Amino acid sequence: MTIDDAPREALRGGPRELLRWVATGAAVSRADLSRLSGLSPSTVSQRVEALINQGLLEETGAGRSRGGRRPRQLAVPTGGAVVGAIDLGAHHARIGTLDLSGRVVQARTLPVRIEDGPETVLGRLLAEVTALAGSDPAAGGAAGALRGIGIGIPGPVQHSTGRIVSPSRMPGWNGFDVAAFCADHVDVPVIVDNDANLMALGAHRTAHAELDHAVYIKAGTGIGSGVISSGRLHRGAQGSAGDISHCRVVADPAPLCSCGNAGCLEAVASGAALVTALREQGVPVDDLTGVLRLIDDGDRHATALARQAGRAIGEILAVVVNFFNPQVVAIGGRLADCEPLLASMRATLYERCLPLATQTLLIERVATGQDVGITGAAHLVIDHVVAAHP
């Protein structure tokens, strides 16, 4: 059993949570960790020593005494080790290095063409991240300080194998073994997951780590979602949990989806769908940026389509909320800034959900910005490093 598979109760006071408490400043000593976790001082000390030996924690001197010996202060190292992160999209990739607390040290956005194929795209991005780590002030300029790389893929990923399965908008990627390819190109662990899952992990750890159940939607060119259950990322049996893209929302006749079916949520409410629908109405628009500009300018065609998209997303999420009963539903991605879509989605949720399910439900935007994906990727790697050294 890995740390991701363990129940939340078993994680209380586990290595990952001890590390998180120190990283967030909630604890600065072993005594603080013992108080927060409810574990005995000897158990906490044993786990802290293991984290120090792994280079994930360090002692920084003596703290203030509350009577007796002054406690040794703990901190997450700010130098010497970083993790790399790649958040891949259809046209751009966000890459970065983050310290062991999950704080972004360096980040940049690079243009990519997903249709260039996995070897070309991933080969270039791995080289960029490795070079970034080598120039990283947090790593002291040493590429050897790179502890691992997390990669988010905009398509279905079998997490246990790192293999991409039937992506609808990634020609040439089906069946590609990302994990094996990366193992041949870098000498550190590489963890691969769906981009919506990494957005969910990054947003949850940053904004709602205290909550147990949450759903995070990524709405941009495509649509996906990530699910947090009992405080951990829930992937399901094969890694497809949260894939709302191809849930049907429109009866025939309906727009044909890239998966081959008709009326899927992605074919109706994604950024790509809005571009197609506007072009069919004779509105000249090149991409999602153009759609959002029209909406900001009050274009009635674009605004009406955005409201329809929000209702469609809300209808699918209403089923999810009634079934799963999360504490928060948050939407990220470029469409999260589209107020007509967000308002329509929120109204549909309240209309279609049971009152008990929405009584305390938070419905909001993901507020962590463009680095939320690489933040999730970094936490995925940090969790892996901690779990590998219990």
| pLDDT per position as a tens digit, 147-166 | 899 999 999 999 889 999 99
Name which of 142, 295, 321 is nearest 217 in CA terms. Answer: 321
> What element of type H or E holds 274?
helix 271-280
Name the residue with tokens 């249709």: 115
In this prediction, residue 3 carries a pLDDT of: 39
In this prediction, residue 268 carries a pLDDT of: 94
List, for residues 319-331, the tens digit of each pLDDT value.
Answer: 999 999 999 999 9
Question: For the chain, first and last CA: distance in Å?
Answer: 11
Instruction: Please give the average per-residue pLDDT across 97-107, as a whole number.
Output: 89
Reported as a pLDDT band with limits 50, 70 and 90, residue 53 is confident
Q: Give residues with Cβ within 8 angstroms of 212, minimum separation 6.
A: 8, 228, 229, 230, 231, 327
Reported as a pLDDT band with limits 50, 70 and 90, residue 389 is low
Beta strands 328-332; 223-229: pairing state: unpaired
User: Which pTM value belongs to this model?
Assistant: 0.86
| pLDDT over 50 at 291, yes or no | yes
Cβ–Cβ under 8 Å, residues 364 and 349 = no
Name the residue with tokens 């020593």: 49
| pLDDT over 50 at 146, yes or no | yes
Q: Which residues of 92-106 are buried (b: 16+ CB within 10 A; e: fewer)?
A: ebbbbbbbbbbeebb
